[in-house]
Chain A
Amino acid sequence: DGGITQSPKYLFRKEGQNVTLSCEQNLNHDAMYWYRQDPGQGLRLIYYSQIVNDFQKGDIAEGYSVSREKKESFPLTVTSAQKNPTAFYLCASSHRTGVSYGYTFGSGTRLTVV
């Protein structure tokens, strides 16, 4: 079945440590997105990518980095520069941008700083 897979489901980070969250899709979608969700809040856009080897900053990109070397994969690195990384991270994908399609979401990664 086609879908989008995020791993791990839970992740614990020590102070000053970089961690990478995985996002893989087999839907042949061109565009991929990373959102952050804090308790009881909506989603805020971190980074998005419309095409391989290209990505743009969202509203809260500081302290995060991404790469898009393959169409299927869009990993997110939470760096030590992100001062408050504890949150629920959601990856999504969609067909070509500029066209009105809905997003398909992964099941999320819950990151906790210990």
Chain B
Amino acid sequence: SQQGEEDPQALSIQEGENATMNCSYKTSINNLQWYRQNSGRGLVHLILIRSNEREKHSGRLRVTLDTSKKSSSLLITASRAADTASYFCATDEMRNQGGKLIFGQGTELSVKP
């Protein structure tokens, strides 16, 4: 079952611009995480935001969480060509005692130099 739905499915921007990706989910969560995947590679953990947090920063990344709307956004500021990758949100659902993550379909980001 897919918990997260991401929007847009694909995003193309110029270097230096900001990129915003959104994630919506259906059930109550313990936390929400964002991952990055370069083509043909494994996923890399970027940032985790807990259900009692509203905003978190890590370098050029800013994540927000709105539990009332069951949505999150990932903002990448001053994007670089090296940011080109697919980005996935993943939720740790409260009903899952096993701590397994449910991943969304991903947003494919292309940053043109």
Contacts and interface: CB of A to CB of B under 8 A. Distances in A.
Interface of A: 6, 31, 33, 35, 41-45, 48, 50, 56, 58-59, 88, 90, 92, 94, 96-108, 110
Contacts of A106: 42
A33 B99 CA distance: 11
Interface in B1-48: 1-2, 4, 30-31, 33, 35, 40-45, 48
B41 A50 contact: no
A107 B48 contact: no
Contacts, number: 71
A59 B42 contact: no
A100 B50 contact: yes
A102 B48 contact: yes
Contacts of B61: none
22 contacts: A6-B42, A33-B101, A42-B2, A45-B102, A48-B100, A50-B98, A56-B98, A88-B40, A90-B42, A90-B43, A92-B43, A94-B99, A97-B100, A98-B97, A100-B92, A102-B33, A102-B48, A103-B45, A104-B45, A105-B35, A108-B40, A110-B40
